[in-house]
Amino acid sequence: MKKMHKEVGVALSGLVIVGSMAMAMVPAQAYDREAAGYAASHFLDVSQLPKEFASAKTIDIGVTMPSTKQFVCDYGTTGNKEVRAGKPELNATAFYERKGRSLSLGVDVWQYKSNEAAEKTFRQLTKNIKKCDGTFSGSWPDENGNPVPYENLITSGNIPAVTVTGVQSVFTNQNSDNAASGDVPSYLSDSMSIFTLVNDVIITTTGSTWSALNLTAKQKAALIQVANDMVTTWVD
């Protein structure tokens, strides 16, 4: 990551405030302050988002040093297996609080120690992501021991519309259907994640409906726009 482009103030509480963006941080000794400053100034501003992702003014941004590989998807008959991408040196995350019935939006930036390391991780990701395809289902016990059914359908593929230096992005699209249990409402959502290789980072851009409605072609196009815009703002 480059040097910070905006002045960052660190409060004793562990929160970093950059303009209208609130950054929830890990303890000071556990993260790279220069990387945190760069991340804070290189995510998209709310005003730059398509209307499909209308958001509140505050963006929650965090920078951590992951201890494990990064989650991509569950798979297997009951979702008992996982696809993960190689562990990055740093993970910068931005969550945009949605307004009304707009889609939710989250962006993760996984930074690796070099361009070559990121490229190797992305090559493996494009191979392993095919394991995500399919349906898995099962049930989990609620507090009374009653089975609560769930079902997830996942597809994956390439996104030619988001191509950086000749490398196409890849995606997962997941439909989730979890039944209600007691005071816990049913969980229905359609979400799409786009994984993009940019120099020494992999940017993951995720949009979700948080409802029984599927993402429309227009909404997916808006997510693709966000993914492309993130490439531009991150390397600027």
Domains and CATH numbers, the chain: 9-235 (3.40.1000.70)
| pLDDT digit string (tens) for the chain, length 236 residues | 433 222 222 222 233 333 334 433 333 334 467 777 888 889 999 999 999 998 878 788 889 999 999 999 999 998 999 999 999 999 999 999 887 777 899 999 999 999 999 999 999 999 999 999 999 998 888 778 888 888 999 999 999 999 999 999 999 999 988 766 666 556 678 999 999 999 999 999 999 998 888 999 999 999 999 999 999 999 98
Place of tokens 């951590």: 64
Phi and psi dihedrals of 2, rounded to 5? -80, 175
- The pTM (predicted TM-score) of the whole model is 0.83
Strands 55-64 and 21-24: parallel
Position of tokens 């409906």? 209
DSSP 165-234: TTEEEEEEEEEEEE--BTTBPPEEEEEEEEEEEETTEEEEEEEE--SSSPPPHHHHHHHHHHHHHHHHHH
Residue 119: strand pairing partners:
none
Tens-place pLDDT, residues 104-138: 999 999 999 999 999 999 999 999 999 999 999 98
Q: How many C-beta atoms surround the C-beta of residue 169 within 10 A? A: 26
- pLDDT tens profile 31-60: 467 777 888 889 999 999 999 998 878 788
